Structure 1
């Protein structure tokens, strides 16, 4: 059995997430998704999420491409996860190109293209603009 793993926040789940998960799953027989906890996002990535961790986990667990969801607590846990779950392929979006190449000593590392013109960040920015316009119109 070929196991693939990927990590992310998966805030405001959108079609870009679906496309990435579908492509990642096509590379193996089992897909494990590490979901960044709210604490990890805040303390290590310096960002807050709109959707709480527990909700993001439920959304991902319901996705047909995902076989197992695990928490991501730190940057360093990837090595342990690769060993623990006997991962064959580590996958991230191509905006992370080169950032995880050191993991190639443990498994294959692939950077997949992101879906154009969609991201949680762009959705948050659009929501912010709409909220500001709404305030101005009131």
Structure 2
């Protein structure tokens, strides 16, 4: 019987309980969880700002979780299919804020969208911290 590898992607900046819960739930869909952490340059391209923590720091944080088996650096959004194939992903898990946007890889793996943790977001946390002064 072959191993069922779950793969997910994210920035994981200003790591919070929503990230933990998402990764724990993703891990439940297989035997092994592999996480692609967005490169600093990719984050700037996507969000128009650098992450608070460097890609190396964010990869170290994610790798330290017991539910995560491996991490790698995601350098290009266009290479999602390549990353899935390279990592042996059988299941792609993403937050439901991305619902439908990764269905195009359903020919190489199962695609599952999980509900996000309500009222927790990195952008919201950064805005809140900034408003404190």
Normalising to structure 2: TM-score of the pair?
A: 0.95
Q: Give the number of equivalent residue pairs.
A: 131
- Return the match for 1:40 from 24, 39, 42: 42
Q: How big is the shift at 1:47?
A: 2.8
Specify the alignment match of 2:107 in structure 1: 105
- Structure 2 matches for 1:28-107, cutoff 5 A? 28-107=30-109
* SS of aligned partner of 1:116: coil
* SS of aligned partner of 1:105: coil
Higher helix share: 1
Show structure 1 runs of 4+ deviating over 3 A. Answer: none
Unmatched runs of 5 consecutive residues or more in structure 2: none
Q: Distance in 1 between matches of 2:87 and 2:44?
A: 26
Q: How big is the shift at 1:83?
A: 1.3
Q: Distance in 2 between matches of 1:123 and 1:47?
A: 15
Unmatched runs of 5 consecutive residues or more in structure 1: 132-138
Say what the alpha-carbon RMSD is for the aligned residues.
Answer: 0.9
Normalising to structure 1: TM-score of the pair?
A: 0.92
Specify the alignment match of 1:126 in structure 2: 128
